[in-house]
Amino acid sequence: MGKKWEEMSPDEKQEAQFQKLLTPKDPEGNDLQFQSQQAEANYKASINRIKDAIQLKKTPDRVPVTILPSMFPYINAGMTVEEAMYDYDKCTAAFKKFMLEFQPDMNIGASAPGPGKFFEILDYKLYSWPGHGVKPEHCYQCNEKEYMTAEEYDLLITDPSFYFRNFYLPRVFGALGGFTMLPPLTGILEMYGVAYNFIPYALPPVQGTFKALFEAGAEALKWAMAMGGSDVELKSLGFPNILGGFTKAPFDVIGDTLRGTRGIMVDMYRQPDKLLKAMEALVPIMIGMGIGASQQTGNPQIFMPLHKAADGFLSDEQFDKFYWPTFKAVMLGLIDGGCIPFPALEGHWGSRLKVIQDVPKGKTMWMVDQTDMAKAKETLGKNACLIGNVPSSTLKLGTPDEVKEYCRKLIDTAGKGGGFIMGNGAFFDEAKPENVKAMVEITKEYGVYE
Partner 1 sequence: MMSKELARLLADLKEAEVIEFLEEALEQGTDPLDLLEGAKEGMNIVGQRFADADYFIPDLIFSGEILKRIVAILEPRLKSGKGEEAERMGKVIIGTVAGDIHDIGKDLVAFMLDVSGFEVFDLGIDVPAQKFVDTIKETGSKVVGLSGFLTLAFDSMKETVEAIDKAGLRDKVKIMIGGGQMDDQVRNFTGADAYGRDAMAAVQLAQSWIGG
Query: For residues 114 and 216, what is the distance between their CA atoms, to the nearest angstrom?
Result: 13
- Report helix, strand or coil for 419: coil
By the 8 A CB rule, do 410 and 373 touch? yes
CA–CA gap between residue 71 and residue 177 (Å, rounded): 31
Close Cβ partners of 355 (under 8 Å, ≥ 6 residues apart): 316, 319, 320, 324
Which one of residues 90, 97, 138, 274 is an interface residue with partner 1 (CB under 8 A)? 138
Cβ-contact 81, 138 below 8 angstroms: yes
Please report whether residue 348 would count as binding partner 1 according to CB under 8 A. yes
Nearest approach, Cβ of residue 126 and partner 1 (Å): 12
Choices 10-18, 107-115, 155-163, 421-429 (CB under 8 A): range interacting with partner 1: 421-429
The helix or strand, by DSSP H or E, that contains position 304, with its residue range, turns out to be strand 301-306
- Give the nearest distance from C-beta 266 to partner 1 in angstroms: 5
Footprint of partner 1 on residues 290-329 (CB under 8 A)?
312-315, 318
402-437 burial, b at 16+ Cβ within 10 Å, e below that, comes to ebbebbbebbebbbeebbbbbbbbbbbbbbbeebbb
Using DSSP bridges, classify how beta strands 365-368 and 420-424 pair: parallel, antiparallel or unpaired.
unpaired
Q: Tell me: does residue 139 bind partner 1 (CB under 8 A).
A: yes
Q: State which of residues 265, 285, 332, 374 lies at the interface with partner 1 (CB under 8 A).
A: 265
**Rounded to whole angstroms, how far apart are CA atoms 308 and 352?**
12
**Binding status of residue 426 toward partner 1 by CB under 8 A:** yes
270 is a contact residue toward partner 1 (CB under 8 A) = yes
Q: Is 126 one of the binding residues for partner 1 (CB under 8 A)? A: no
* Residue 388 near partner 1 by CB under 8 A: no
Please select the residue that binds partner 1; options are 397, 399, 401, 434, rule is CB under 8 A.
397
Segment interacting with partner 1 (CB under 8 A) among 104-112, 129-137, 153-161, 410-418: 129-137
Q: Where are the alpha helices (DSSP H) in 398-432?
A: 400-413
- The answer to whether 105 and 46 are in contact (CB under 8 A) is yes
290, 341, 391, 447: residue in contact with partner 1 (rule CB under 8 A):
391
Q: How far is the CB of 135 from partner 1 (least distance, A)?
A: 6
For partner 1, give the closer residue by CB, 38 or 393: 393
Query: Which part of the chain contacts partner 1 (CB under 8 A), choosing from 25-33, 206-214, 358-366, 427-435?
Result: 427-435
Q: Which residues bind partner 1 (CB under 8 A)?
A: 128, 133-135, 138-139, 141, 143-144, 261-262, 265-266, 268-270, 312-315, 318, 347-348, 370, 391-394, 396-398, 426, 428-431
